[in-house]
Structure 1
Amino acid sequence: MGICPPVLPAGRRPRHPALRRFFGLLLLCGWLLCLCVRQPLPARADQTATDPPPVPPETADAAASPDIPWIRQEGLAFAELPLPLRDGPGPRVAVVRLSPDVFDFVLCAVGRGKHPPLTLRQWAQREGLEAAINASMYLPDGVTSTGYLREGSYANNSRLARRFGAFFVAGPDDDALPAATIIDRDEPDWQARLARYRLVIQNYRLISGDGRILWKPGGPRSAISAVGADAEGHILFLHCREPLDAYSFADGLLRLPLRLRAVMYVEGGGQAGLVLRADGLEREFNGRSATEFLPAGSIRAALPNVLGARRRPAAPSPETRENSR
């Protein structure tokens, strides 16, 4: 709380001019002190942050953004990187970068298969996925996504959430459209564009389509899973295991040379996860939670809705097609 300015008893004023000037200055200083100590209220998710301003990728500190040591395969790249936070190196973030020209993106949902929720690793094994991440947060019924979620004729949640401004989409009805991308609710004709895609997943925005961080500093700290799109059209699955507030996570991502165009939040806490099962490259990341301190160790969360990446079958070569005739 600020210090309130002094109040003189009603009907009494100092008679000497010097005393009047003194009390006038004291009153002014008191009001200035009240203004200076006021603290800004924390911003809600998906609202524009104005203090401090975001750091665009092109102006990020070069010393904090070295070349990324990718482990590469066809259509896929993986790296673990320390987040360059404003006050120094932060926790590590796992990054899986996927090419929509090589991978199909699919929804795995218990509401469609009528079976119990599975862990990310179990989903990946069951559905033949090379990478898998949380599709979205979900309601207490353990099935329904908090935002709009559909794939083809299956609708998990057909209502658009007013607070959520990001939509991951994949499988367009026209090859001229991006095979997978993130549509921002502030973009023109966003609803008409959603109708053109087989898969639509709605979540909170972390970074808008024009590179703004839509979260103010502070807020709860937790492990975070997120999905992003970069300037080259890749889709990125992102995971930070150590607790971090959403603004710091987004700010650190923009300081890395990932050329991110948009990022959406998909889950936080112990349920946030990421699995990679590429050829000879297997990784599993789970959010840090209190269960890790139990004698049995970490418990992997069972999830009702998962976003997965499945490698497309290789097109047969001309020689193979000729021999099959």
Structure 2
Amino acid sequence: MNPRFGGFLAFGSSDSTVGPWHFAGSDCEGFSLQELRERYPVVVQNYRLLDCVGEVFEWSDDRSYSSAAIGLDKRGWLVFAHSGTTCKPQEFARWLALPRFGITAAHFVEGGPEASLMLRHGAQEFRVTGSWPGVRGSGFRDVPNVLGVVPRGEKVR
């Protein structure tokens, strides 16, 4: 466990009594990494943007850059967020915490030109890449971070 990364995203459980994904923080009440690993086969550690109760998590990074995040909203839906405009992580977190979005958990995924997002559903596709101030990204990296989501019970093609 990396002590600098306080957030954990767990998923992949075939147990229908637990949610398809779970966001946790090492400082959240009742947190147990061992229990999380017992319930979910995949556990990823990240920096948090929102704390245990969905409030802005304090960041010390004062640099501005594009950011990508993964989160959870109050309906239990997985949320992918991207800021093409460069901003400090603290500002990005404040934006994610706005009540109108209903986001209850959010983890930082990547920053700068590596902060890319591609969504595809059927024939519809959305692509955006990040940047540093004054430096646009040159497109998607050869080996991106990839997360695919398929409803439980459906087969992956």
| TM-score class, shorter | 0.7 to 0.9
Deviations 1:69-124 (A, max 9, x none): xxxxxxxxxxxxxxxxxxxxxxxxxxxxxxxxxxxxxxxxxxxxxxxxxxxxxxxx
Distance 1:311 1:179, change over 3 A: closer
Higher Cα radius of gyration: 1
Within-5 A mapping of 1:304-319: 305-310=145-150
- Contact 1:224-1:272 at 8 Å conserved across structures: yes
The yes-or-no answer on 1:212 pairing with 2:55 is: yes
Deviations 1:273-307 (A, max 9, x none): 11111023210010025355xxxxx3322235422
Q: Give the drift of 1:246.
A: 0.8
- Contact 1:215-1:246 at 8 Å conserved across structures: no
The yes-or-no answer on 1:172 pairing with 2:34 is: no
The yes-or-no answer on 1:181 pairing with 2:22 is: yes
Deviations 1:122-148 (A, max 9, x none): xxxxxxxxxxxxxxxxxxxxxxxxxxx
Whole-Å separation in 1 of the counterparts to 2:20 and 2:46: 19
Within-5 A mapping of 1:75-224: 160-187=1-28, 188-191=30-33, 192-216=35-59, 219-224=62-67
Please name the residue that 1:300 is paired with. 140
- Contact 2:129-2:139 at 8 Å conserved across structures: no
Identity %: 28
Matched residue type, 1:185: S
Matched residue type, 1:270: P
Q: Runs ≥4 in structure 1, deviation > 4 angstroms?
A: 311-315
Whole-Å separation in 2 of the counterparts to 1:201 and 1:185: 12
What is the CA RMSD across the aligned residues, in angstroms? 2.3
SS of match in other structure, 1:250? helix
Structure 2, gaps ≥5 residues long: none
Matched residue type, 1:299: G
Distance 1:311 1:216, change over 3 A: closer
The one of 254, 257, 260 equivalent to 2:97 is 254
- Contact 2:65-2:111 at 8 Å conserved across structures: yes
SS of match in other structure, 2:150? strand
SS of match in other structure, 2:52? coil
- Contact 2:55-2:97 at 8 Å conserved across structures: no
Whole-Å separation in 2 of the counterparts to 1:174 and 1:281: 31
TM-score (ref. length: structure 2): 0.84
Distance 1:314 1:217, change over 3 A: closer
SS of match in other structure, 2:101? coil
Bigger helix fraction: 1
- Contact 1:217-1:248 at 8 Å conserved across structures: no
Whole-Å separation in 2 of the counterparts to 1:213 and 1:299: 30
Distance 1:299 1:173, change over 3 A: closer
Whole-Å separation in 1 of the counterparts to 2:73 and 2:136: 34
Q: Give the drift of 1:210.
A: 0.6
TM-score (ref. length: structure 1): 0.43
